[in-house]
Each structure stands twice: as C-alpha cells, then as structure tokens.
Chain A
C-alpha cells in the first residue's frame, strides 16, 4: 500500500526555537496533504490543508504565521513550528491523498512527537 513518511519522529527543542517537520509520500503523488495535531488521549484535529504549488488553507484558530506550511513538490510538504512554546508540544501527523485513486483514502504518516521545553 501507499506509504507516507515523516521526519523527524521525535524532537525536543528549547522554547523560542523553530522546528521543521517533513512529510513525504514515498510511492505516489499527492497534490493535497493534511496536517493534524493530536493531544494525549484526544482526537486528531485538522490544522491545515497543504496544496502543492499554492498557499495552504488553515483551519479556524490555527495561526498561519506560527505554523508555516510549504508544499513545494508533489511528494513533500513541510510544517515549520516557529518560535515554539511548551503549549505547542503535541503529536503532529500528516496525511496524503493519492492523486490517482478514485476512492477517497488518506494515508497517514507515523507522526512526529514534539516536546518544547
């Protein structure tokens, strides 16, 4: 099946620094990728929709200047958490929708656990 990778899998950083998370579709093209955030024992909440070659679409309440998204190619989207603070500590998961598939299926990456000290 389709594989989505994320890097890094885990990151610890100091408050005020920026962290970049990469999401790659390994064996398929994805015009659209999604970034979710999940707090412990909670559901996945969509942060933004990443569109190749155009600006990302952010959900209400998500600061686009804080969570920078770049979707420069059909297989790579990046999420940069700028000036991270402890409240940004969370599990960030990306997913990608395969362009060639008719059936609506999203493939999820393994997630990135961010801890901001």
Chain B
C-alpha cells in the first residue's frame, strides 16, 4: 500500500550535519514536502520538492529522486532548537490531503 517510511530516531551533535531519509513504494504523487514538529506543537512547513533534485532553504535542504523512490531532508549546522520530529509528506494523485510519513525524532546533543 501507500506508505512513507522514515527512521524513527536520529541523534546528532550540535554543529554537525544530519540527513533524514524518506522512502516510498508507490509513486504517483505531486511532490514531497517536509514538516517540523516540536513537542506539543503543530507541524510547520520546511521545504517542498516538486521536481527531482535539491532545494535549499538556509540551513535546510531537501532532495527528491523519483527514480530511486526516496527523498531526504538535510539539516546543516545543527542547533539545539532543531531537536524535534520531522515528517515527510506527499499528496497522492487524486487526493486532496497530505499523507504523512512515519516521522523521525531528531535529538541534538551538545
């Protein structure tokens, strides 16, 4: 069925770079989005890949490869405030809503 798989947890050191992958089985979506969610808060939009390739927004970059059926979010110069959950999301063809991945809990340590 349709699913977006992410690693459940990632730990990285402050100042480092971390990559969070999102893999899928079924294609047929319009684009891949990434959202950040702090504990108790709402998801906030980070990045969107409508086409294959790399999109850069400040410290955050996102990549999509439809031929390889995966995308990733790259966070550079990690800060403590980046500790949060990160979700990839797609809108499947024919659907109105966003479908969220399993989520990755990022913990940044000193």
Residues of A at the B interface (CB closer than 8 Å) are: 32, 34, 41-46, 49, 91, 93, 95, 97, 103-111, 113
A34 adjacent to B97 (CB under 8 Å): yes
B100 cross-chain contacts in A, Cβ below 8 A? 43-45
B96 adjacent to A49 (CB under 8 Å): yes
CA A106 to CA B42, docked complex, whole Å: 12
A111 adjacent to B87 (CB under 8 Å): no
Q: Knowing A49-B96, A49-B97, A106-B98 touch, does A42 contact B42 (C-beta < 8 A)?
A: no
A42 cross-chain contacts in B, Cβ below 8 A? 103
B101 an interface residue at 8 Å Cβ cutoff?
Answer: yes
A108 adjacent to B44 (CB under 8 Å): yes
A41 adjacent to B105 (CB under 8 Å): yes
A sample of 21 cross-chain residue pairs with beta-carbon separation below 8 angstroms, ordered by A number, consists of: A32-B96, A34-B96, A43-B102, A44-B43, A44-B87, A46-B97, A46-B98, A46-B99, A49-B96, A93-B43, A95-B98, A97-B96, A104-B31, A105-B48, A106-B45, A106-B97, A108-B42, A110-B41, A110-B42, A111-B40, A111-B42
Interface readout for B18-46 with A: 1 if CB under 8 Å, 0 if not? 00000000000011000100001111110
